[in-house]
Structure 1
Amino acid sequence: MRIGFIINPIAGMGGKVALKGTDGVVEEAIRRGARPVAEEVARLFLHELTHYVEASDVSFLTGPDGMGERVLGDFEFPFEVIPHRKIGHREVEGVRIPDTTSEDTKTLARTMVGKVDMVLFAGGDGTARDVFSAVDRAVPILGIPTGVKMFSGVFAASPENAALILVEFMKGNARVVERDVMDLDEEAYRRDEVRPRHYGKALTPYVELLVQGAKEPTQVDEEEEVEAIAEALVEELEDGVYFLGAGSTLKRIKERLGINGTLLGIDVVEINDGKARLLVKDVSERDLLAFIERRPKVIVTVIGGLGFLFGRGNQQFSAEVLRHIPKENIIVVATPSKLRGGVIRVYTGDREVDEKLRGYMRVRVSPWAERMVKVI
Structure 2
Amino acid sequence: MSKPSFRLGIIVNPFAGIGGALALKGSDGAQIREKALAMGAEKKANEKMAKALSILDALSGQVTVLTASGDMGETVCASLGIPCEVIYHAPEVQTEGEDSENAAHAMVEAGVDLLLFAGGDGTARNICRVVGEAIPVLGVPAGCKIHSGVYCVSPAAAGQVVSQMIAGELVSVMDAEVRDIDEDAFRGGKVIAKHYGEMRVPAELTYVQAVKMGGKEDEALVLDDISAYVSEIMEDEPDTLFVMGSGSTVGSVMEYLGLDNTLLGVDVIKNGELVANDVTASELIELTRDKPSKVVLTVIGGQGHILGRGNQQLSPAFIRQLGKENMIVVATKQKVQALDGKPLRLDSGDPQLDEELAGAFTIITGYKDKVLYNAL
The TM-score with structure 2 as length reference comes to 0.92
Deviates more, 1:220-229 or 1:262-271: 220-229
Q: Which residue number corresponds to residue 118 of structure 2?
A: 122
The 5-angstrom pairing of residues 320-331 of structure 1 reads 320-331=317-328
Q: Which residue number corresponds to residue 174 of structure 2?
A: 177
- For the Cα contact (< 8 Å) 2:16–2:27, is it kept in 1? yes
Q: Which residue number corresponds to residue 168 of structure 1?
A: 164
The 5-angstrom pairing of residues 1-376 of structure 1 reads 1-24=6-29, 25-50=32-57, 52=58, 54-88=59-93, 99-114=94-109, 115-174=111-170, 175-217=172-214, 220-237=217-234, 238-239=237-238, 240-271=240-271, 276-290=272-286, 291-339=288-336, 340-341=338-339, 342=341, 343-376=343-376
The secondary structure found in structure 1 opposite 2:129 is: helix
Identity of counterpart residues, as a percentage? 38
The secondary structure found in structure 1 opposite 2:242 is: strand
- For the Cα contact (< 8 Å) 2:67–2:88, is it kept in 1? no
Consecutive unaligned residues of structure 2, counting only runs of 5 or more, are 1-5
Q: Which residue number corresponds to residue 3 of structure 2?
A: none
Identify if the C-alpha distance between structure 1 residues 350 and 83 changes in structure 2 by more than 3 Å, giving closer, same or farther.
closer
Q: Which residue number corresponds to residue 93 of structure 1?
A: none
Q: How far is the alpha carbon of 1:85 from its aligned partner?
A: 4.4
The secondary structure found in structure 2 opposite 1:153 is: coil
Identify if the C-alpha distance between structure 1 residues 160 and 81 changes in structure 2 by more than 3 Å, giving closer, same or farther.
same
Q: Distance in 2 between matches of 1:6 and 1:202?
A: 16
Summarize deviations over 1:69-111 as a string: whole Å, max 9, x none. 12212233331112434223xxxxxxxxxx1111111111012
- For the Cα contact (< 8 Å) 1:45–1:160, is it kept in 2? yes
- For the Cα contact (< 8 Å) 2:144–2:312, is it kept in 1? yes
The secondary structure found in structure 1 opposite 2:156 is: helix
- For the Cα contact (< 8 Å) 2:88–2:103, is it kept in 1? no
- For the Cα contact (< 8 Å) 2:55–2:159, is it kept in 1? yes
Q: Distance in 2 between matches of 1:306 and 1:85?
A: 34
The aligned amino acid for 2:49 is: A
Deviates more, 1:138-147 or 1:166-175: 166-175
Q: Distance in 2 between matches of 1:366 and 1:154?
A: 32
Identify if the C-alpha distance between structure 1 residues 166 and 83 changes in structure 2 by more than 3 Å, giving closer, same or farther.
closer
Deviates more, 1:10-19 or 1:214-223: 214-223
The aligned amino acid for 2:68 is: G
Q: Distance in 2 between matches of 1:27 and 1:149?
A: 18
The aligned amino acid for 2:295 is: V
Q: Which residue number corresponds to residue 94 of structure 1?
A: none
Consecutive unaligned residues of structure 1, counting only runs of 5 or more, are 89-98
Q: Distance in 2 between matches of 1:30 and 1:3?
A: 31
Q: Distance in 2 between matches of 1:31 and 1:293?
A: 29
The secondary structure found in structure 2 opposite 1:113 is: helix
Q: Distance in 2 between matches of 1:167 and 1:48?
A: 7
- For the Cα contact (< 8 Å) 2:216–2:248, is it kept in 1? no
